[in-house]
Amino acid sequence: MVNLEWYRTFKSVYKNGNFSNAAKELFISQPAVSQQIAMLEAHVGYKLFNRKSKGVEPTEYAKLLNNLIIEALDRLENVENGFREKAFNSNQLVSVGISKHLFLSIGNQLLSHFEFIDFTFAENDELFQLVDAKKVDFAIVTKKFDTFDTIQKELGTMKQIIVASPDLDITLCKKEIEVGNYSVIEQWLNQQKWYNYDARIPHVKLFWLHVFDKKRPTLISNYIIPSENELLTALSRNTGLAIVWNINAKAFINEGNIQMLWDSPKMPSTSVYVLSRKNDTLNAALDKVVNEIKSFF
C-alpha cells in the first residue's frame, strides 16, 4: 500500500539533498527519514539516492519519480492546508504551539475560545519553525521574530517573581526587602529549599543578574520539576521557594495556595506574542481571541 508520508519525505530529501535537513524540515528524526526512503525504494523497486560526502544525490529514477509526483503532491498539500484554514475559521479544529510553562496560564485561556485544540509543546525557535512550516496554526512565543511570511501580535507582558510555600515564614525576608538589605536577603534565600524546572536554573540566574548583579547564584536546587504547573502544585503542598512567571502564580496566590515573596522592580518584563502566518482567514479568526486574552494580562 502506498504511504503518502514516504512521498513527503522523498520530496524533502530531493529538495534539500540531505537527510538531516529533511529531518529538520519534517520534524522527524534522521533515522526515520532513512527508513522511509528505504521503504519507498523497496516499494518502487529502484535506488533513489546515492550518498555523497555532504548529503545525497538523486538517481535518474528519483528525477523521474519527482517529475511524476511533485504536482500531485503539491495539490494534495494545498488541499490539506486549505481544509485546516476552513476548519480553523469554523471553530472546529486549531493547532497551537506553546511552551509547556505557559500552558497553565495562556493555554488554559484558549480552551474557552475553540471547540477542538491540538497543542504542541515546544520553545521559541522550534515554535517559529512549526508555524513557518504550517505544522501549527499559531504559536505563543516570548521572542520577537521579524520575517516576511509571519506576523506577531503582542498579548501583554509578564515577569519573574519569587514565591513561597504557604507554610514558610517569610516575615524576616520581607522586612529586609522593604529596607533593601540585599546581602541579608540573599543569605536567607540561600538557606531555603528551592524548586526549579531546569537543573541549569535559568530563571534563578536571570533573577540574580538583575536583582543582585551577580552572574552565579550559590543556591542549590533541591527539586527539578520540568513544568511550572506541576512545580507550583508541588510547592503549594510542600516547603520551599521558586522563581516563576507572575501570570502562572496569580491563581495560586489568589487562592492562598502559595505566598508572594518578592516582585522586584529590578526584574524586567517579558513580552508575549501570538505568532502566525500571513493569511487573511487565519488572522481574522485570531483577532477576537487576541483581544480577549490581552485582558488576562
pLDDT at residue 150 in the model: 81
Q: Record the cell numbers describing residue 205, joined without a space.
A: 540566574
Q: What's the rounded mean pLDDT across residues 91-113? A: 83
Segment among 21-35, 81-95, 136-150 with least mean pLDDT? 81-95
118, 130 Cβ separation under 8 angstroms: no
Distances (CA, A) of 160 to 154, 201, 253: 18, 13, 14
Which residues, at least 6 apart from 107, have a Cβ–Cβ distance to it below 8 Å?
Answer: 96, 98, 119, 140
- Residue pLDDT, tens place only, 256-277: 999 999 999 999 999 999 998 8
92, 285 Cβ separation under 8 angstroms: no
pLDDT at residue 281 in the model: 58
- Please give the backbone phi and psi of residue 65, each rounded to the nearest 5 degrees, phi first: -60, -40
Q: What's the rounded mean pLDDT across residues 240-253? A: 95
pLDDT at residue 105 in the model: 87
CA triple 214-220-226, angle to 5 deg: 100
**Which among 140, 68, 73 has a CA at the least distance from the CA of 110?**
140
Distances (CA, A) of 17 to 9, 20, 49, 253, 283: 12, 9, 9, 53, 34
Segment among 37-41, 111-115, 279-283 with least mean pLDDT? 279-283
Does the pLDDT of residue 292 top 80, yes or no? Answer: no
pLDDT at residue 89 in the model: 53
Taken in order of first residue, the domains within the chain and their CATH numbers are 4-86 (1.10.10.10), 91-156+270-294 (3.40.190.10), 160-262 (3.40.190.10)
Give the ranges where the chain is alpha helix by DSSP (H): 4-16, 19-26, 30-44, 60-89, 108-110, 124-132, 171-179, 182-190, 202-207, 228-237, 246-254, 280-294
pLDDT at residue 80 in the model: 63
Please, what is the average pLDDT of the chain?
Answer: 86
Q: How far apart are CA 122 and CA 225, in angstroms?
A: 16
Place of cell 514558610: 168
pTM for the whole structure: 0.66
- Residue pLDDT, tens place only, 185-194: 999 999 999 9
Q: What's the rounded mean pLDDT across residues 195-205? A: 92
Confidence grade of residue 291 (pLDDT, cut at 50, 70, 90): confident
Q: How far apart are CA 217 and CA 75, in angstroms?
A: 55
Q: In terms of C-beta density within 10 A (0-12 exposed, 13-18 middle, 19 or more buried), how is residue 40 classed?
A: buried
Place of cell 490581552: 294
pLDDT at residue 86 in the model: 56
215, 271 Cβ separation under 8 angstroms: no
For residue 158, what are the β-bridge partners?
A: 270
Does the pLDDT of residue 45 top 80, yes or no? Answer: yes
Q: Record the cell numbers describing residue 67, joined without a space.
A: 517529475
- Residue pLDDT, tens place only, 131-177: 888 888 889 999 988 777 788 888 899 999 999 999 999 999 999 99
